[in-house]
Amino acid sequence: MSTHDTSIPQGKSTISQVLAPIRTRLIAAAMLAGIGTILTMVPLAGMAHIAKILVSDPGTTGELSTASMREIGWVVAASVASLFVGMGCMFLGELVTHLADNQLTYQLRLAVMRRLSQAPLGWFTSRASGDVKQAMQDDIATLHSLTAHFYTAVGRVLGALLISVLYLVALDWKIALVTLLPLPGFFLFLRRLMQASKTNMGEFIAQLERMNNAINEFVCGIPVVKAFGTTGKAYRGYQAAVDSFAQAFEQFTRPLVASMAHVHAMVTAVTVLGLTLTFGIFSVAIGWSEPVDLVPFILVAPGICAPLLLLHTLLHDLGSAVGAAQRVMALLETPVLPSIPADERQLPDDHEVRFENVSYVYDNAQNGLSNLHFTLPPGSVTAVVGPSGAGKSTLARLMLRFFDPTHGRITLGGVDLRHMEMSTLYQRMGFVLQDVRLIHASIGDNIALGRPSASQQEIEDAARAANIHERIAALPHGYRSMVGEDIQLSGGEQQRISIARAMLLDPPLLVLDEATAAVDASNELAIQQALSRLTQGRTLVIISHHLNSIMHADHILVLDGGKVAEQGDHDQLLARKGLYARLWALEEMTNSLQSKVAAC
C-alpha cells in the first residue's frame, strides 16, 4: 500500500480493520523474530553438546582428542554464527514492525484528518475537544505496543517454545514433560487474566475519557473560577470525575492481581529450573539419566521464561490497544457531508436565500427548527431574534451548512446547498460568529485563511477596516506573530481578526451571529465600527438579542420554540403586540434600569 492510501477495509473486526494496511509486514516480522529466537538458542544446545564431549572424551592422557577438538571448534563456530544471524533476524523483525508502525500512525492521522475535514462543522460543536484529542493523539500512540512489539513478541514465544520442546523431548521426554509442566498452567491463568481484563475494560475507558474531559474543562475554566470564587463547586465536578476513574481503575485491576501473580510465579526461571533440577536429580538417582544429560535442560528450559513473560505483559496492554482502535475507528466513521459528483455541481444564479419548509432535529431527538419557510432577497437586511433557545444559532448554522436540514431544503441563487461545493458556498457566504476560533498560525495567515493568495497589502487593508491593524503593527513580529506564542489575543481582538478575515474574503452574503455579545464596551465600539464597514452593500442576516441594534432591518424574523412566531419590520411587529413587542418592552425596561444604576 502506498503512503498516501489511507483507506481502511470495512466489515472486519476493529483490530483487523486498523492493522489491515500493515498486516503482511507484521506477520513477516513475527516470522523473523521466531527464526531469530530459534537461532539465538542454538548456542545453548552447543554448550550442552560441548559439555557432553568434555565428559565422554577426556583422551588417554587427560587431553581431548584431535577429533573432539575439531568437533568443538565446529560447534563453537556454528553457535557464534547462529547467535549473530539470530540477532540480525530479531533486529530486522523489530525494524520492520517499527517502520510499519510509523507508516500506520501516519496513515491513521492523515485518514482521521481527511475524515474530519469532510465532517459537517456542526459535528464539532457537539464533541468535547478532549475526545478528539485522545483518539488522534493518545489512542494512536497506544497502538504502538500492538503494532511495534506484540507480533514480534508472539514470534519469539512461538520460536522459543517450538525449538525448546522439540529439542528437550528429543533428549529425554520424561524430564522434558516435567520441565514444561508450568506451561499449561501459565496459559490457563493467562486466559483468565484476559477475561477478567475484558470485564471492566469498557467502564475503565469510559471513566478515563470522562476524566480527560473534566481536566480539559477545569483547566480552561480556571480564570472564571478564580474570578468568581467558586472553587469549591468547580473542584467538585473535577473531583467527581477523578474519584470515578479511581474506582473504575480499582475494579479493573483488582481481579487481575491474583492471576498476574500466578502467571509470573509459574514461568520464572527459578520455578522452571527448580522443577528441572528436582526431577533431574531424581532421574539420575534411579539410573534413568546421566548427570551430563541435565545440562541441556538447565541451559535451555529457563530461556523460555523471558518471551512468555514479555507476551504476558503485551497481552495485558492488548485490551487498551483494542479500546484505542475502537475509538480511532469511531473517528474514521464520523458522518460526512455527502460528496457531490462533478456532473451534479451547480453554481448559484444570484444571492437570494430561500428556506423551503426546513426542519432540523438534533441527534438527541431534540427539535431544533420546524417548518421554516422564508426568503432573503439580495441586498436585504434580515434580523433573527427570539428568546434564548429559540433556534436562532441553529438557523445561522444551517445557512452556513454546518449541518444539513432533516427535512426541506435551503437554496442559494436557486441551488440547493447540498448540490454546491463547500468552497463555492463560502466564497459567497461569509460569517462572523460569537465563538471565534483562530488556528495555530501567524496573525496574517489567520486573516488570509479564506484567501491564502491575498497580498500583504490586502491583508493589512482588511485589518485596518476591522480596527485591528494598529494592535498588530505594534507587535515585535507584526503580522508574522504566532497566535498563542507571540501574542495572547483578547476576545474582542479575536473577533476583529474574524471580521478582517470576512472582509478579505469579501462575500456578497454575510451572517452575523451575536458578533458583539461577549466583549466589553470599548471592544464593542471598535467591532461595531468594523461591522458597519463590512456590511455595506451586502445581503445581511443578523442574529441578535439586542433589539435596538436591529430595529432598522428590512425584515425581522421572530423565532420561538424553533418556529417563526412572527415576521415583519419593527413597526409592524410592535403594532401586533405579540412576542416581539414583549421582548422590546423587556429590553427597554432593562436599559432604563441600567441607566439608573449608571447614574448612581
Q: In angstroms, rounded to a whole number, what is the distance separating the alpha carbons of residues 24 and 247?
A: 40
For residue 24, the model assigns a pLDDT of 92
Alpha carbon dihedral 13, 15, 17, 23, in 10-degree steps, equals: -120
For residue 30, the model assigns a pLDDT of 93
For residue 95, the model assigns a pLDDT of 94
For residue 4, the model assigns a pLDDT of 38
For residue 219, the model assigns a pLDDT of 63
342-599 and 14-332 share a CATH fold: no
- Report yes or no: 496 and 527 within 8 Å, Cβ to Cβ: yes
Q: In angstroms, rounded to a whole number, what is the distance separating the alpha carbons of residues 94 and 342?
A: 46
The residue whose grid cell reads 478582517 is 500
Q: Is 383 helix (H, G, I), strand (E, B) or coil?
A: strand
What average pLDDT does range 85-110 have in this prediction? Answer: 92
Q: Supply the DSSP symbol for 119.
A: S
- Residue 11's Cβ-count burial label (10 Å; 0-12, 13-18, 19+) is exposed
> For residue 346, what pLDDT band results from cuts at 50, 70 and 90?
confident
Condensed to tens digits (0 to 9), the pLDDT of residues 530-572 reads: 666 666 677 888 888 778 778 888 889 999 988 999 999 889 9
For residue 418, give the C-alpha cell.
447540498
For residue 462, the model assigns a pLDDT of 87
For residue 137, the model assigns a pLDDT of 73
What average pLDDT does range 71-87 have in this prediction? Answer: 92
For residue 356, give the C-alpha cell.
423551503
Q: Nearest CA to 280 among 271, 290, 270?
A: 290
What average pLDDT does range 405-434 have in this prediction? Answer: 85
Decide if pLDDT at 28 tops 90: yes
What average pLDDT does range 343-359 have in this prediction? Answer: 84
For residue 100, the model assigns a pLDDT of 92
> For residue 408, what pLDDT band results from cuts at 50, 70 and 90?
very high
Residue percentage of the chain with pLDDT more than 90: 12
Decide if pLDDT at 2 tops 70: no
For residue 82, the model assigns a pLDDT of 94
For residue 9, the model assigns a pLDDT of 42
Q: What is the pTM of this model?
A: 0.60
- Residue 14's Cβ-count burial label (10 Å; 0-12, 13-18, 19+) is middle
Q: In angstroms, rounded to a whole number, what is the distance separating the alpha carbons of residues 65 and 9?
A: 65
Q: Is 34 helix (H, G, I), strand (E, B) or coil?
A: helix
Alpha carbon dihedral 239, 207, 263, 139, in 10-degree steps, equals: -120
Q: Nearest CA to 193 among 105, 109, 263, 94?
A: 263
What average pLDDT does range 199-224 have in this prediction? Answer: 66
Most confidently modeled range among 12-16, 18-22, 340-344, 547-551: 18-22
CATH homologous superfamily for the domain 342-599? P-loop containing nucleotide triphosphate hydrolases (3.40.50.300)
Most confidently modeled range among 39-43, 424-428, 490-494, 544-548: 39-43
Domain boundaries, the chain: 14-332, 342-599
For residue 338, the model assigns a pLDDT of 72
Lowest mean pLDDT segment, chosen from 149-153, 484-488, 557-561:
484-488
Is the domain 14-332 a CATH 1.20.1560.10 member?
Answer: yes
> For residue 521, what pLDDT band results from cuts at 50, 70 and 90?
low
